[in-house]
């Protein structure tokens, strides 16, 4: 059985705690809304084939969130300037969204800490160049993004 299935709740809670701390949010619900928005915004820029390849390298709960309610018949949108992408993230559940302007970078930071870097990078390398930029994280110490076992 894959590790991500056996330990799905622990893995998800660790990821969500990272997001909540990084974004300085008060609740799991707030963190979930931010992450869901970031994943939806990214997903809208992918074909279904690209999206499934991306989802396959995510932990199982994030994989499920990524594909939930996806309109696979919609044409992919072009990547936009970061400010426009952030505004789109904040538009998800607009009346219940306290997502900070750093939501994409903060979600990326938490995501890198819970994925296999080799597999994640390989998938991103097969996507448009803007996809790699979307998930890019600047840190002084690369160990900060080391995959951790929860």
pLDDT per residue over 95-107, tens digit each? 777 899 999 999 9
pLDDT band at 142 (very low <50, low <70, confident <90, very high): confident
- The CA distance from 133 to 99, in Å, is 20
The CATH number of whichever domain residue 107 belongs to comes to: 1.10.490.110
Answer yes or no: is pLDDT of 150 > 60.
Answer: no
Q: Could you tell me the two tokens for 111?
A: 């995501």
Residue 150 lies in a domain: no
Residue 149 has pLDDT above 80, yes or no: no
Average pLDDT, the chain: 94
Q: How many domains does the chain have?
A: 1
What's the rounded mean pLDDT across residues 64-75? Answer: 96
Is residue 3 pLDDT above 90, yes or no?
Answer: no
Give the residue, 95 or 8, on which the prediction is more confident: 8
Give residue 9's domain range: 3-145
Positive or negative, the CA dihedral 16, 60, 44, 94 is: negative
Contacts of 97 (CB under 8 A, 6+ apart): 33, 34, 37, 90, 91
Confidence of residue 45 (pLDDT cuts 50, 70, 90): very high
Evaluate if pTM is beyond 0.85: yes
Q: Read off φ and ψ for residue 102, nearest 5 degrees.
A: -95, 15
Q: Work out the average pLDDT over 3-13.
A: 91
Q: Answer whether 102's CB lies under 8 Å from 73's CB.
A: no
Query: In this structure, is residue 15 part of a structural domain?
Result: yes
Residue 20 token pair: 């909540």
Q: Among 32-36, 51-55, 137-141, 146-150, where is mean pLDDT lowest?
A: 146-150
Domain membership flag for residue 77: yes
SS3 state of residue 141? coil
Structural domain contains residue 24: yes
């Amino acid at each position: 059985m894959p590790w991500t299935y056996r330990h799905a709740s622990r893995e998800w809670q660790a990821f969500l705690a990272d997001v909540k701390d990084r974004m300085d949010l008060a609740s799991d619900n707030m963190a979930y809304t931010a992450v869901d928005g970031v994943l939806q915004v990214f997903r809208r820029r992918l074909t279904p084939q690209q999206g499934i390849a991306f989802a396959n390298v995510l932990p199982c709960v994030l994989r499920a969130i990524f594909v939930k309610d996806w309109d696979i018949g919609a044409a992919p949108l072009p990547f936009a300037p970061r400010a426009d992408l952030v505004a789109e993230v904040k538009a998800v559940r607009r009346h219940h969204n306290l997502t900070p302007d750093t939501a994409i970078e903060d979600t990326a930071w938490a995501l890198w800490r819970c994925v296999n870097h080799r597999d994640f990078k390989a998938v991103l390398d097969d996507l448009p160049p803007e996809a790699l930029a979307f998930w890019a994280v600047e840190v002084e110490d690369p160990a900060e993004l080391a995959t951790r076992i929860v």
